[in-house]
Amino acid sequence: MNDYYNTCFYDIQEHPEENHVLSILTDNNPIAAILDIIISGACFMTLFRKCGLKWWQAWIPCIKSYCVGLCAHREKEGRILFLLEAFIYIMLILTLCPLPDTVLAVLALITMVLVIIEIIQVIRVYSGLCEVFKRKKTWILSWLLFSSLTALIWGLSSKFTPSAAATDKDKEADISGIEADKEAEGLTVNIEKRTAHQAFSTNTLLKDIHMIIPKGHMVLLLGGSGAGKTTYLNAVTGYEKADAIITLDSINIYKEYDQIKYELGFVPQQELMRGNDTVIKTLTDAANIRLPASMSHEEKKQRVMDVLESFGLSMLQNTAVEKLSGGQKKRLSISIEYISDPSLFILDEPDSGLDGVVARSLFEKLREIADQGKIVIVITHTPDRVIDLFDDVIVLAKDSSRTGRLAYYGPVDTARRYFARGNMEAILRTINQKEEGGEGRADEYVSSYSRVARLVDEGKTFDDAVDEVLASKNKEAADE
């Protein structure tokens, strides 16, 4: 967003006989560069004020780029721009030292690569500005060619008004303010928030997620890229702790992990098995690791044989893992976690790479596991081909502050009515951000579900609460 350093490096290439850029800086008139920063700052100052930021931030290189990202609700891109510009300025300072021509040439090449990356991030930021100010994307060209002038126009003209201030992070989507019963049977999830520290800020990855999943339920975990599905699962299993209370049959998973760890089963998307080992050796090793030390050798051996039979692997027990088909490997991968007979069974895309028939067979097995009184939570990118096997669906969505929020949790059939969509993929498109090809209605449904949750907490049935919220939304739409 300040091209002075680019000009300097281009001149380095044109003056290979110089061993430093002091003369180049002089030739490029540093006074003009300072004036450019002053004028640019004055132009962006008006935009920053309109977006709710401090006016003086427009005068500081690097910080200005980060703040433009905030104005565009593109904080991630703003941070990248800050780091890129800071790194380029550091390299400019390095060139003030006597350096060989080859080093200067390498610095120039690196800078050109960084400038290309910078342009990509700048375009994303300007696209975000157009969305926030509700302007056509053709304005991106004006921003690229005349950024200071465009910032001045947008900052001064009353025709350009941001739909939300840069500091409005969690105001759009409502907070439920409830808490699930920690003493309930099954899995109780009360996640206040899950944060991660990054440069310049603390990002909230998940927020306000409360639910009770009863025993015997098979639950689909649905959400777009970055909605927090993996973060949610890691928080539930205690792998990455959140500001939360997670209980399984009233036992606190975080505080009493040693007591509950054998009740948790997690099957990752990647198959972590040695190809040269046989099926029975793989499962026997898993039994020795996952089953309590108090179990006898004979008991563990019997458990291995029972699981092999249950998953249809008995006839393959002496076959090397690398000789198995894709579906057989998936069954073995699931068997490894199921060996400890967990009460909570979580699977991340178990049908990845499988055709419809094999995937269907696998999910029918998971349905059998749930019917044994287990809780089964599954992530899959092709939910509609097996949706009839699920009891409930959890829908996570990124709100306007890019925080993972709960947009729905309840029966599958009610989800179709709640979102007014016929299938899960259509529901996903509804809540996905517009830049992801969705409708950008995440905040709407997060707020609506918060109202549903409060009504249920007050004593209404789930279906009655959904009906009341939908009726209220329809009335509001009619009044508009």
What confidence tens digit (pLDDT) does each residue in 193-232 have? Answer: 998 876 556 678 999 999 999 999 999 999 988 889 999 9
Query: What do you get for the CA distance between the two ends of the chain, in Å?
Result: 41
What whole-number percentage of the chain has pLDDT above 70? 90
458 three-class SS:
coil
Note the pLDDT tens digit of each residue in 72-130: 988 888 989 999 888 878 877 776 777 787 887 887 788 788 888 989 999 999 999 99
Determine the distance from the C-alpha atom of residue 391 to the mean position of all C-alpha atoms in its chain, rounded to a whole number.
25
Cα 448 to Cα 342: distance, rounded to the nearest angstrom:
34
Residue 346, SS3? strand
What pLDDT was estimated at residue 19?
39
Q: Does domain 187-479 have CATH number 3.10.129.10?
A: no
Distance CA 113, CA 293 (A): 56
Query: What is the predicted pLDDT for the residue at 199?
Result: 56
pLDDT band for position 27 (cuts 50, 70, 90): very low
Other C-beta atoms lying within 10 Å of the C-beta of residue 53: 20
Band (13; pLDDT cuts 50, 70, 90): very low
**Would you give the distance in Å from CA 132 to the centre of its chain?**
21
What whole-number distance in Å separates Cα of residue 225 and Cα of residue 396? 10
Let me know: does 362 contact 313? Beta carbons within 8 Å: no
Q: Would the CA dihedral through 79, 85, 87, 93 be positive or negative?
A: negative
The strand pairing partners of 266, in sequence order, are 346
Q: In sequence order, what are the beta bridge partners of 248? A: 187, 251
Residue 36: its pLDDT value, please? 77
pLDDT in tens, 140-170: 999 999 999 999 999 999 899 998 777 654 4
CB 211 within 8 A of CB 409: yes
Residue 198 phi/psi, 5-degree rounding, is: -135, 175
Q: Is the dihedral of CA 10, 11, 17, 18 positive or negative?
A: negative
Name the token pair of 217: 């339920």
Domain with CATH 3.40.50.300 in the chain: 187-479
Rounded to an integer, what distance in angstroms lies between the CA atom of residue 447 and that of residue 406?
Answer: 9
